[in-house]
Structure 1
């Protein structure tokens, strides 16, 4: 099972559209996970229409329309692993222990908010993944997203995709 993980798309505030490289991955993914801060409902509509299966949550920048359509926390069993998706997990310091305590029933937690890619394992084995942002790199050198594979109850081939810099609008 191939996964596409993204977050913090912030359209149309940070970019006018999703990057072509991310859009090209949509048909290859069995499941798309979006960890919030969509900002506009059109992005949700687009991912719903182009994804085989979409699992998403709302973020702190998402208004009433998105909050009415999306949960704060989503859970799904994917390929024998228990996934959770949430927007914010708090400060980086202590994140692993805090998330392991809060989500003892998960194998993988996908989160966003910081725009900083993250891949770590908490005590007890909880894998924490933040795909960064495909549209707003903030203090990072690149905009990013993640792909991964789930096979036989294991998460493999977790790949951080660095996007080329956006060209300024003409």
Structure 2
């Protein structure tokens, strides 16, 4: 059976926004698995996400305090229907990222990361898919606040789509 995924990062609540957009909550509540790649900032966001999503995979980010670091790992690894996911908050500079991540995560098929607030979707020389969902609350230099949706089906990651966090609509990457 296919698994629907929501990928988010850099929520920064309540500093960058007071709440997550309703369209994002709708996507979260309809997903089978939600990935959060760090910089939650407050523990209440983790608690609410765990209450509203069937399964949450999360890591802490550089802006997360001791309370979040006690509940979340720095790196998470999970296999879903044969697809091996790794997740971390920071991957360093964009220059050379693909080759570095091939070295750091040689046994993963997909790496979810955050930190930059800039959506990212590339494939490394060794075939590792790198995904950054941007931020649903702080667009920085981007035209909109974003998250990613995807599906795992029969051992493959499919239907990866960047979405506007306010409307849920698919937007250009």
For the criterion TM > 0.5, the same-fold answer is yes
Secondary structure in 2 matching 1:39:
coil
Aligned residue number for residue 17 of structure 2: 15
> Aligned ranges for residues 1-170 of structure 1 at < 5 Å?
1-164=3-166
Question: Which runs of 5 or more residues in structure 2 are unaligned?
Answer: 168-173
Distance 2:29 2:164 in 1: 19
Per-residue deviation, 1:163: 3.2
Secondary structure in 1 matching 2:143:
coil
Superposed CA deviations along residues 58-81 of structure 1, whole A, max 9, x for unmatched, are: 000000000000000000001210
Superposed CA deviations along residues 17-36 of structure 1, whole A, max 9, x for unmatched, are: 00111000112110000000
Superposed CA deviations along residues 33-90 of structure 1, whole A, max 9, x for unmatched, are: 0000000000000000011110000000000000000000000001210001100000
Question: Which runs of 5 or more residues in structure 1 are unaligned?
Answer: 166-170
CA RMSD of aligned residues (A): 0.9
Per-residue deviation, 1:124: 1.1
Secondary structure in 1 matching 2:69:
helix
Aligned residues between the structures: 165
Secondary structure in 1 matching 2:77:
strand
Distance 1:99 1:124 in 2: 10
Distance 2:19 2:166 in 1: 14
Per-residue deviation, 1:164: 4.1
Secondary structure in 2 matching 1:49:
helix
Aligned residue number for residue 171 of structure 2: none
